[in-house]
Structure 1
Amino acid sequence: MKSNKTKILLYISLLCIGIVIGIAIRHYYNLPLSVDINIIDVATLVATVFLAVYIPEVLDRNFQEIKDKKDVILKKVEELHFLNRKINILVQSEIQPNTKSILIINNTLDIIENKLQTLKTLVKLGNLKINFSPEINKIETLIREHKVLIFNNNQDISDCNFTDEIKMQEEIIFNHLDHNFCLLIFKIA
């Protein structure tokens, strides 16, 4: 709202400066004026002024809108990336995980799945002309693999154990996820 008031004030001040300069030039310099008005020249002048003012405003507004959409999507991707790193740190640091860390990992994986669905919705509603589907689908598949690897399809969460083999596979999945998150970030930016 403040920027619109600033723009209107700027346009009015430019118009006033133009009128003052026009009066000053007419007053001090006797320039010959045409007696008749050429309608084609007036139409050309109006069209030129319209294009010089309106088109840059519309383009700037459209570019800003696209940038804002990309910023929101980028923020969600960075949140997902951070949560994925948090899981990796928890898995790599635990030899015999306690119930609290298992619950944190399970909760974080659920949050990642929800945020991924939110990201898919934002991409769909954003109507950006870039296709993010391959990266998002790959990330979704890797997250499912991640969850299956960590919990080994156990119904009892407290029965989880992080062996060296699981840690190594988890690190590989994390690296693939990291790679796909980076690709998605570069594609958005």
Structure 2
Amino acid sequence: MSTPFGSDPETEVRRGVDLLEAARGVGHIVFTSAAHADRGTGVPHFESKYRIEQHLRGLGVPWTVLGPAVSMDDHTVERSLRGLREGRFVLPVPVDRLLTLIPARDIGAFAAHVLTRPQEFAGRRIDIASDELTCPEIAEALIRARGRPVVFGRLPISRVEAFSADLAAMFRYFTEVGLDVDVAALRRDFPEVGWQRFGTWAAERTWPVG
């Protein structure tokens, strides 16, 4: 798994390649990338992950690439919690755009599943998600989990652009194209993972009351 945040995409690629080179002797490598990173999205932190994927493919060891969709755990970081304390949930996404979502728990569970069946998954790239909801539906789930009002508001993309051009590119992609991960097929084909619905995930969290 790699990230450019806290550094930059070039540093992410360099570190990712270094890690792969260091892992040449292992039996099977599972790399966590991002959903649609192999589709020429133009999103900087998707493109950097795809460059690492390409290096992995030429490494000469068995590999599997997982492409997680939008992280449910992003709702627990401070910038999101700050809004929830004020009863707000904001994203620069239209109200009718479905977002495919996954918690870190399910990414880890699927990676473990892959590593117990390396021959079955060798050479495969699989986009993964646990649920699919619109932003108003996410807000409703947060209301049920917190027992407090939450109102969704669409954030202007210019606000995100001022903070991060990379994230702004990602949200433009979500708005204009979207992530088409087949949640139903994943649930059918890999029930062992125990895919969590967003409502279940949210109900298990401890949320701010202020």
Could you say which TM-score interval applies, normalised by the shorter chain? under 0.3
TM-score (norm 2): 0.22
Greater fraction helix = 1
Determine which structure has greater relative contact order: mean sequence separation of CA pairs < 8 Å that are 6+ residues apart, divided by chain length.
1
Q: Which has the higher strand share?
A: 2
Taking structure 1 as the reference length, what is the TM-score of the superposition? 0.24
